[in-house]
Amino acid sequence: MSGSLDDRRVAVTGGAGFLGRAVVRVLRARGYAEPFVPRSRDYDLRDPGAIRRFLDDARPDIVIHLAAVVGGIELNRRQPGTLFYDNLIMGTHLIEAARRAAIGKFVCVGTICAYPKHSAVPFDEDDLWNGYPEETNAPYGIAKKALLVQLQAYRRQYGMQGIYLLPVNLYGPGDNFDPETSHVIPALIRRFIEARDCAAPSVTCWGSGTATREFLYVDDCAEAIVLAAERYEGEEPVNIGIGEEVSIADLALTIARLVRYEGSIDWDTRRPDGQPRRCLDTSRAAERFGFRATTALEEGLRRTIEWYEANREGTAESPV
């Protein structure tokens, strides 16, 4: 399939989540019919019966599969079993049901957490299987990576058209700011704003600050997913990122400056750093479907902070 999705029916699992809402916005902006979003309260996608009901109700031509249990390092440490089971079982039942229902295209969204802990930087898709992931996010990363194998096997045996994308860490307005489950950018924004507001002399951050990460603005990722759904048909996985690396220490300094926090930053080195370095080679996405990220980190952070400052009423207090 190439060109516009035009009048094809699109279903977006996880379409009410952080990335899902952005994907739905992109689909609407490009003039597609309103996508079907199966909410977990109506269709628990861990249940094959609920999946069949969802496909019967939605009758999609294309499924974009984003539904997942996701979180930061703390959730990965506390609930590795849930992260493995829910993500594997939702994806594997859904791909099987999509095959049986002869869905025209299946777009599966994986994660950078699938990469080996010590991948050469920038991460190349061909190195995906050259080692075990960083231990804390291995259950999540491996569960999602198994879906790549399933899609490739189904393509060979049944001719099913499934593609697989590997987004880097995302951030942006509407992210999850719950201190129990948030990723690093919303966690830091919240902590520095709370420290600023109570004039705390210092903020202690987890780890050494030396680990590096790459961050992609959520709307850029959504654009990439829709472009791939329209234009990409290959069996090889494709990285989705911006191809720029920043240390956690530099990220913390930037966020502190942007929120006007004037105290000092301490590092709690007893806490884990997670994977030492993360940065993607993004050339395959550019070559295969013309995706290039356009939102620079500082601009994206500004928009995210603005959104949080305007929307933070009602969120639970977090200790600084």
Ligand X SMILES: NC(=O)c1ccc[n+]([C@@H]2O[C@H](COP(=O)([O-])OP(=O)(O)OC[C@H]3O[C@@H](n4cnc5c(N)ncnc54)[C@H](OP(=O)(O)O)[C@@H]3O)[C@@H](O)[C@H]2O)c1
Nearest 5 degrees, angle CA 108-CA 32-CA 24? 50
Q: Can 171 be counted among the known catalytic residues?
A: no
Query: Quick one: tokens of 157?
Result: 């045996």
Q: How far apart are the first and last CA of the chain?
A: 50
CA dihedral 81, 112, 216, 73 (to 10 degrees): 40
Nearest 5 degrees, angle CA 296-CA 301-CA 303? 100
17 lies in the binding site for ligand X (CB under 6 A) = yes
The dihedral through the CA atoms of 118, 123, 124, 125 has a sign that is positive
Q: Give the shortest CB-201-to-ligand X separation in angstroms.
A: 31
Site for ligand X in 61-100 (CB under 6 A): 66-70, 90
Task: Choose the binding region for ligand X from 4-12, 167-175, 200-208, 302-310 (rule: CB under 6 A).
Answer: 167-175
List 5, 12, 26, 45, residue binding ligand X (CB under 6 A): 45
Q: Give the shortest CB-43-to-ligand X separation in angstroms.
A: 6
Query: Quick one: tokens of 10?
Result: 């699109």
Q: 268: which DSSP letter?
A: E
Site for ligand X in 241-260 (CB under 6 A): none
Closest to ligand X by CB, 195 or 293: 293
List 1, 44, 96, 253, residue binding ligand X (CB under 6 A): 44
List 10, 11, 19, 147, residue binding ligand X (CB under 6 A): 19
Task: Choose the binding region for ligand X from 38-46, 117-125, 195-203, 299-307 (rule: CB under 6 A).
Answer: 38-46
Site for ligand X in 186-215 (CB under 6 A): none
152 lies in the binding site for ligand X (CB under 6 A) = no
Closest to ligand X by CB, 214 or 273: 214
What region does 102 belong to: left with phi over 0, alpha with psi -120 to 50, or beta?
Answer: left
Task: Choose the binding region for ligand X from 36-44, 126-134, 268-276, 298-306 (rule: CB under 6 A).
Answer: 36-44
109 lies in the binding site for ligand X (CB under 6 A) = yes
Chain-centre distance of CA 195, in angstroms? 28
Query: Quick one: tokens of 142?
Result: 């491996």
Residue tagged active-site, from 43, 115, 140, 164: 140
39 lies in the binding site for ligand X (CB under 6 A) = yes
The dihedral through the CA atoms of 51, 55, 56, 58 has a sign that is positive
Strand extents, DSSP E, 144-237: 162-167, 169-171, 202-206, 212-213, 215-217
Q: Which of 97, 96, 45, 42 is nearest to 66 (CA)?
A: 45
Closest to ligand X by CB, 68 or 128: 68
Q: 206: which DSSP letter?
A: E
Contacts with ligand X, residue ranges (CB under 6 A): 13-14, 16-20, 39-40, 43-46, 66-70, 90, 109, 111, 167, 169-170, 183
Q: Which residues are catalytic?
A: 140
